[in-house]
């Protein structure tokens, strides 16, 4: 329930914000001097295809739909087959305000996505999802040279510095939420945590205490529940395989939180949030994106080591640094990521007014922020020379 309300709140904020931005910025730029006049217009791209994921289906669709329509494009949206209903209804409502055919929704699996990314009538593709699928989309889009925006996977690191205040209960709670909100099924969740060895044991102790207070599992429609189920059985099996692998390597597995509805828990796709201690830096639970409620906490000895470990993975979506503010910012500047949050993580540090996206294999382009409309326009320059000879062309 918390996640559903939060998603709708962010969605309405985004629609209000984006409509104001586009009215201000989508207008002709005119330059004139003694040589003539130049008009620079932001033309719509044309037909846009959007492919959206199951974890936050409404906002991750509307972040594409809103600027695309406001810039004058038509659009076809394909939601994930694991979360089609809510966004289908919302697209129907929005589409009713436009002429037929302006905004459309199609359903299906990979074959429908393949058609959207290869059809020559579609001139732009916006996708949020896994890196492997993003790579496939790039290849398919290359044949017709489509514009693309890709927001892909992220194995987001969190670095806890030596000067982190262990008595800051709210900060530790933000870390717990930054690991397990939506059952860890958010692209910007902190998925691997590195803690300076000098404070490691005390940090882990306080982390477990805080997590056991905050995490309550059960029916997500129950307002007392803070962590609900995993989306589908395949994802349950994948996350469990990472935990089993870590356990087989001798890691300590700590189950977190309280199950407040055993019947629902046993029937659904639930995994109890899990802390993994003692993992190797190169173990699967560390180097693979879990996208579920299992997080490793690892000790480090030097700042240089922590930064190197954070950067060594091919992803670079978000990250977080925890400690004295100026010190944390100095470390943040050395992390390869599209977004780095200081003393917070996940949606707690997210702001629709600023661009969001990744580096390396975490994507191409940016969504949100004042420049998000640029991905859905083409600059069109019209030159109007004054009559007579131009001074820069010799006779």
Return the closest-CA partner of residue 156 out of 307, 289, 350: 289
71 is catalytic: no
209 is catalytic: no
User: HSE (CB half, 13 Å, CA atoms) of 230?
Assistant: 21
Return the closest-CA partner of residue 151 out of 316, 354, 383, 395: 316
Catalytic residue (one of 187, 288, 289, 309): 187
d(CA 145, CA 189): 33
Catalytic residue (one of 7, 71, 97, 151): 151
Inter-CA distances, 99 with 74, 103, 136, 157, 289, Å: 10, 8, 33, 45, 42
d(CA 134, CA 152): 7
d(CA 330, CA 313): 20
For CA atoms 253, 291, 209, 318, give the dihedral sign: positive
Contact 70, 22 (CB under 8 A): yes
Helix, strand, coil share of the chain (percent; to 5): 40, 25, 35
Across the chain, which distance is largest between two alpha carbons, in Å?
89
Inter-CA distances, 69 with 42, 44, 80, 355, 373, Å: 13, 9, 21, 19, 10
d(CA 184, CA 260): 19
Which are the catalytic amino acids?
151, 187
């Amino acid at each position: 329930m918390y996640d559903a309300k939060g998603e709708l709140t962010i969605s309405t904020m985004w629609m209000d914000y984006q409509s104001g931005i586009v009215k201000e910025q989508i207008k002709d730029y005119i330059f004139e001097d003694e040589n003539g006049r130049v008009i620079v217009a932001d033309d719509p791209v044309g037909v846009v295809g959007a492919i959206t994921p199951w974890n936050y289906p409404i906002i991750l669709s509307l972040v594409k739909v809103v600027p695309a329509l406001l810039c004058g494009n038509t659009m076809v949206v394909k939601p994930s087959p694991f979360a089609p209903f809510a966004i289908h209804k919302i697209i129907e409502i929005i589409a009713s305000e436009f002429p037929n055919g302006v905004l459309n929704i199609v359903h299906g699996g990979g074959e429908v996505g393949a058609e959207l990314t290869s059809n020559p009538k579609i001139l732009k593709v916006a996708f949020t999802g896994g890196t492997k699928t993003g790579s496939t989309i790039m290849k398919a889009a290359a044949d017709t040279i489509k514009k693309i925006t890709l927001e892909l996977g992220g194995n987001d690191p969190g670095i806890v510095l030596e000067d982190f205040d262990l008595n800051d209960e709210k900060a530790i709670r933000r870390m717990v939420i930054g690991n397990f909100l939506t059952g860890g099924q958010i692209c910007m969740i902190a998925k691997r945590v590195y803690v300076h060895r000098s404070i490691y044991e005390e940090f882990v102790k306080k982390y477990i205490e805080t997590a056991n207070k905050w995490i309550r599992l059960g029916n997500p429609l129950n307002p007392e529940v803070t962590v609900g189920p995993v989306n589908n059985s395949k994802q349950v099996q994948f996350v469990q395989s990472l935990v089993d692998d870590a356990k087989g390597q001798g890691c300590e597995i700590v189950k977190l939180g309280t199950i407040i509805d055993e019947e629902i828990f046993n029937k659904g796709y639930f995994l109890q949030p899990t802390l993994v201690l003692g993992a190797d830096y190169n173990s699967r639970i560390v180097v693979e994106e879990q996208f579920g409620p299992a997080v490793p906490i690892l000790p480090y000895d030097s700042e240089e080591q922590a930064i190197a470990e954070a950067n060594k993975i091919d992803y670079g979506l978000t990250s977080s640094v925890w400690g004295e503010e100026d010190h944390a910012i100095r470390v943040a500047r050395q992390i390869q990521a599209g977004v780095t949050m200081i003393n917070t993580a996940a949606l707690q540090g997210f702001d629709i007014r600023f661009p969001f996206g990744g580096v390396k294999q975490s994507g191409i382009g940016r969504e949100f922020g004042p420049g998000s409309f640029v991905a859905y326009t083409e600059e069109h320059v019209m030159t109007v020379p004054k009559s007579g000879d131009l001074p820069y062309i010799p006779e």
